[in-house]
Amino acid sequence: MTPVELSRTVLRAVRRAVDEGELSVVVPVRAVVTPPGPGGCGDYATNIALQLARPAGRPALQVAEILRPHLTRSEGVADVAITGPGFLNIRLGGGAGASLVREIQRRRDAYGHGDILAGQIVPLRIPYDIRAEVVADTLVRIVATQGGRAEVHHIHIHPPRAEPEGTELARAEPAGTNLSQAKTAGNHPSPAEPPRTNAPQIDPARPHRLHRPHPQITTLRPTPASEDPTPLGPDAARWALLHPAAHDRPRISADHLLQRESNPLFRVRYAHARTRALTRNAAALGCTGDPGDVPEDVPGGGELVGALAGYPAVLTQAALHRAPDRLARHLVTTADALLAFQHTVLPFGDEKPSAAHRARLALAEAAGTVLAGGLSLLGISAPDYL
């Protein structure tokens, strides 16, 4: 069950409670489902009970108790627990991982793409600084995954002077995106400035279009690197500039080139290479991936399914908040789950490939698809051999 399908399942549970007279509310148009937060459990959590408490005239915990049996009886739901002030924590049953893998297989590189910015132009203003260049170049691709079109303009940074919101792009020039051609800002370091947007809360299960009459200008001023990152090479240099949050100063060092677990970039690219190796080794055994259930006790399995399911929401947030670092950090999370999971994929010794192995292989291959797609959006290569 994908997040979109689970959101619909939650709404059907609300509708059943209304139809049976247990709740007197208007069924909302959407239900937010996300990975559970601190203190939560299961595969997903929803705050629908808190959302309905006031219109229902009941405490959120009571609303959650009403909805719990309806959710528990839903197909694909194994268990529902109530935590905190009324969060419903949902553990999925058979077919959840299989449905997700099939969706990734079907959409391939387009998995996670949405239309929340469909038809919108996103103006990005950047100073003449190599980090701002790389961030803007990456955001052009990330914004496009959500149906928008980012337009990049250079600006000269002058001493602080208040500018009215929504002014035209004075002295604006089209920005280049080639890392090797980008120049540092020299004597004009600038602190990070958050996007000038009032980004709405996003439902990762059911993105909806937002219609704004005028494009909102975003000025990107990520904290500049203390030294030129280009000697690291294009992949490591881009990672060094994109992985930290905009307000953090990038660390430019040879550590980004080390092929060790301590290097997040290496873990992400190595995890992708491992998925390709698993496919090759499985083919030698006459085994191909086939979406199926992966038991919860398989190391890394639940974490990997959760990371893959959360990828669309991360892309949406990265686009809306102009924050490619969110994507970079999520790729690290996905890679770590895959590296913990990979040892369970192929049979050991004289063991013959089974349906369980084919299901695990399909899940690993889906992870490879997401890792490759995410690295491509960051402008970083994803080699099959590493």
Query: 38-42, 154-158, 222-226, 356-360 — which is least confidently predicted?
Result: 154-158
Query: 67-71, 204-208, 237-241, 351-355 — which is least confidently predicted?
Result: 204-208
Strand order in the sheet with 87-92: 33-34, 44-46, 87-92, 77-83
CB 82 within 8 A of CB 65: yes
Residue range 119-153, pLDDT digits in tens = 999 999 999 999 999 999 999 999 999 999 999 99
Residue range 284-317, pLDDT digits in tens = 999 999 998 787 678 888 889 889 988 988 999 9
**What is the pLDDT, as a whole number, of residue 157?**
66
**What is the pLDDT, as a whole number, of residue 94?**
60
**What is the pLDDT, as a whole number, of residue 38?**
82
Residue range 5-56, pLDDT digits in tens = 888 899 999 999 999 899 999 999 889 888 888 888 877 899 999 999 999 9
Query: Is residue 331 over pLDDT 70?
Result: yes
CB 275 within 8 A of CB 338: yes
Model confidence, pTM: 0.70
Q: Is 261 exposed, middle or buried (0-12, 13-18, 19+ CB in 10 A)?
A: exposed
Mean pLDDT to the nearest integer, 210-224: 74
Nearest to 64 by CA among 79, 47, 78, 39: 47
User: Count of alpha carbons within 13 Å of 349, Cβ hemisphere only?
Assistant: 1
Angle at which helices 355-378 and 324-341 pack, to 10 degrees? 160
